[in-house]
Amino acid sequence: LVSRKKKPEDTIIDINGATIGDGNVHFIMGPCAVEGYEQVATVAKAIKQHGVKLLRGGAFKPRTSPYDFQGLGVEGLEILKKAAKEHDLAVVSEIVNPAHIEEALDYLDVIQIGARNMQNFELLKAAGDVDKPVLLKRGLSATISEFINAAEYIISRGNKNIILCERGIRTYEKATRNTLDISAVPILKQETHLPVMVDVTHSTGRRDLLLPAAKAAIAIGADGVMAEVHPDPAVALSDSAQQMDVPTFHRFMEEMKDMAERMK
């Protein structure tokens, strides 16, 4: 059902006025994890200034170590919802437990399924059973075919609103956190009718590479870019090395706008 052969026209998903898949570049911006109201509100205000319509933030964090910050859970979703409402933004946040999908509908505009859960088939089915857009991230070591099959799990249950997100894959290369598989973007666009976004934060793991990676994503035909923004990355409870501070985010968006102009 996700195959372009079955449905030649692009799927366009309207989220809070952001029509993802319409040929324009859309952005999902926000902190790695929700840490508190002030933190999220600061970022929400900054992203709104650039016309970004989607606010991200992790409330249920899938951390490698059990001793690392695990997220604020439902309290985090409440904070996101409040800050988003104040700035007329839509909320994107990860859900890791199939049993939380129903409850999350009250808080979220987009359910994120993270890389570690791309093949959590019960979670995919639960997300497929609800009427809420899903941002599906590519698994850490998933082939493109496995990624497409994961989306198939969701769409086969009835939920057609899926955004695919390339977020880098695990290779032998250590210069970046993951290896951004940029060619996955046109392959996914050819093989499926779904919008494709690129997460430049988790793919590179390097603040200095966020802008060039975002430019590459746009040049190769991505429908949008996700990146993390934190008021003070040095003290962030997760992903401290790769989040942008607010002034860096402003410069990032200016460069994105310049590039969009040049491509016209």
Which is nearer to ligand PEP, 114 or 233 (by Cβ)?
114
Task: Answer yes or no: are the C-beta atoms of 92 and 109 closer than 8 Å.
Answer: yes
- Minimum gap (Å) between residue 72 Cβ and Mn ion: 15
Tokens describing residue 79: 């904070």
> Binding ligand PEP by CB under 6 A: which of 53, 87, 137, 207?
137
Residue 98 CB neighbour total at 10 angstroms: 17
Site residues for ligand PEP, 83-102, by CB under 6 A, read 94
What are the Cα distances from residue 34, in Å, to 205, 238, 239?
Answer: 19, 10, 12
Q: Per rule CB under 6 A, is residue 26 in the interface with ligand PEP? A: no
Q: Per rule CB under 5 A, is residue 239 in the interface with Mn ion? A: yes
The interface region with Mn ion, picked from 70-78, 183-191, 217-225, 236-244 by CB under 5 A, is 236-244
Identify the CA nearest to 186 among candidates 212, 150, 226, 222.
Answer: 222
The interface region with Mn ion, picked from 88-96, 208-216, 234-242, 248-256 by CB under 5 A, is 234-242
Residue 115: name its binding partner from Mn ion, ligand PEP, none (Cβ under 5 to 8 Å by kind).
Answer: ligand PEP
Q: Per rule CB under 6 A, is residue 128 in the interface with ligand PEP? A: no
Measured from each CB, the residue nearest to ligand PEP is: 114
> Binding Mn ion by CB under 5 A: which of 32, 113, 115, 126?
32
**Residues contacting 16, CB < 8 A, separation 6+:** 53, 54, 88, 89, 90, 109
Q: Per rule CB under 6 A, is residue 167 in the interface with ligand PEP? A: yes
Q: Per rule CB under 5 A, is residue 43 in the interface with Mn ion? A: no
Residue 67 CB neighbour total at 10 angstroms: 7
Measured from each CB, the residue nearest to Mn ion is: 32
3-state secondary structure of 180: coil
3-state secondary structure of 101: helix
Identify the CA nearest to 257 among candidates 50, 114, 69, 31.
Answer: 50
Query: How many angstroms from the chain centroid is the CA of residue 115?
Result: 10
Q: Per rule CB under 6 A, is residue 230 in the interface with ligand PEP? A: no
Interacting residues with Mn ion (CB under 5 A): 32, 239
